[in-house]
Structure 1
Amino acid sequence: MRIITGLYKGRHFEIPRSFKARPTTDFAKENIFNVINGYVDLEGMTALDLFSGTGSISLELLSRGCSSVVSVEADRDHARFISQCMKKLGTDANILIRGDVFRFLKSCHQQFDFIFADPPYALEQLPTIPGLIFEYNLLKDDGLLVFEHGKQYDFSDNPHFCDHRSYGSVNFSLFRP
């Protein structure tokens, strides 16, 4: 796993083979960040990375200038790996929460400039996540939600939907308040 650009550009992290999480491919990550740059300037923003997995997106967000990133990951080993990556970078701008994303969404009282969610594609509650983010008012008025999902989902009827991008089997739907 590598960081594509920014402060930590080119840094590599070896993901343990035992991990169930699949990091967003470099190709998809690079392309979706090019799209994101057309919507928001990440410099100085607060970001939320839901279902952080390997921490690839959190690392990229920090490298691109986010002032703080909250990473939510339920798996103990994945959370430990994210913590180790942040220590290797020497950053304290990451707040790692090891816990259930749905519990976090319900109890969070903070708003974010940018939210990235990459749930497991087989997650039964996957289609509910964009609605919950808006129901709990977690995105600032000029914020952006990027939601990664499989090709079987179509969120274009969501009132907050603004864009869809597809890179191979990886799909992203973008939402704004």
Structure 2
Amino acid sequence: MRIISGLYKSRKIVAPKTLPVRPTTDMAKESLFNIINNLFYFDDITVLDLFAGTGNISYEFASRGTQNITCVDQDYGCVKFINQTAETFKMPISTIKSDVFKFLEKSNLQANIIFADPPYNFSEEQFAKIPELVFQNNLLLEDGILIIEHSKHTNLSNLNHYDYSKGYGGSVFSFFEIG
């Protein structure tokens, strides 16, 4: 994977093949950040990266100037890799090793952008639980967005707070808002 833009533009980050991950493709990531760039100033936001995996999305935020980034993943190897990478590049990323659903149930950490990249084979109920917990626990700041990455074979348009989706290849980003 590579960082698309910002301070660390074009840097390649190679994750161990043993991590249980499916990183967001560069094409999809670039398209996603074009959307986010039109909505937020990167240096003014707080980001929560759920099912963080390799930290791919968080590195992009950090490279673009975001100073408050929290990654949540239940896999020890993923958390360790994110910590090592963040330290190497001096990125302002903190990690929490936790089951994402348990984290969402107990957290009071609010963010402007909550990005979730759960396994594509999640059931409809598992996908639905993400926005349910985010909005139930008021984890989004005013004018914030929840973005869930999923397969093109999954449709989240029937969920509460759904706003719109954008597809890129086999990946789709669904956007959710408070209003």
1:110/1:17 Cα in 2 relative to 1: closer, same or farther (>3 Å)? closer
SS of match in other structure, 1:43: helix
Q: How does 1:94-173 map onto structure 2 within 5 Å?
A: 94-124=93-123, 125-173=126-174
- 2: distance between equivalents of 1:110 and 1:168? 32
Q: Percent identity?
A: 43
- 1: distance between equivalents of 2:58 and 2:97? 14
Are residue 28 (structure 1) and residue 28 (structure 2) matched? yes
> Higher mean Cα deviation, 34-43 or 19-28?
34-43
**Residue in structure 2 matched with residue 76 of structure 1 by the alignment:** 76
Q: CA deviation at 1:20?
A: 2.0
Segments ≥4 residues shifted beyond 4 Å: none
**TM-score in terms of structure 2 length:** 0.93
**Residue in structure 2 matched with residue 17 of structure 1 by the alignment:** 17
**Residue in structure 1 matched with residue 52 of structure 2 by the alignment:** 52
**Residue in structure 1 matched with residue 3 of structure 2 by the alignment:** 3
Amino acid at match of 2:80: R
SS of match in other structure, 1:58: helix
- 2: distance between equivalents of 1:27 and 1:21? 17
Amino acid at match of 1:168: G
SS of match in other structure, 1:154: coil
Task: Give 5+ residue unaligned stretches, structure 1.
Answer: none
Q: CA deviation at 1:43?
A: 2.0
**TM-score in terms of structure 1 length:** 0.94
SS of match in other structure, 1:72: strand
Q: Give a deviation string over 1:31-89, Cα, whole Å, max 9, x none.
A: 11111222222222111000000000111111112121000011111111111110110
- 1: distance between equivalents of 2:175 and 2:48? 15
Q: Is the Cα contact below 8 Å between 1:39 and 1:144 reproduced in 2? A: no
- 1: distance between equivalents of 2:81 and 2:43? 25
Q: CA deviation at 1:155?
A: 2.3
1:152/1:127 Cα in 2 relative to 1: closer, same or farther (>3 Å)? farther
- 1: distance between equivalents of 2:110 and 2:87? 26
- 1: distance between equivalents of 2:16 and 2:157? 36
1:159/1:102 Cα in 2 relative to 1: closer, same or farther (>3 Å)? closer
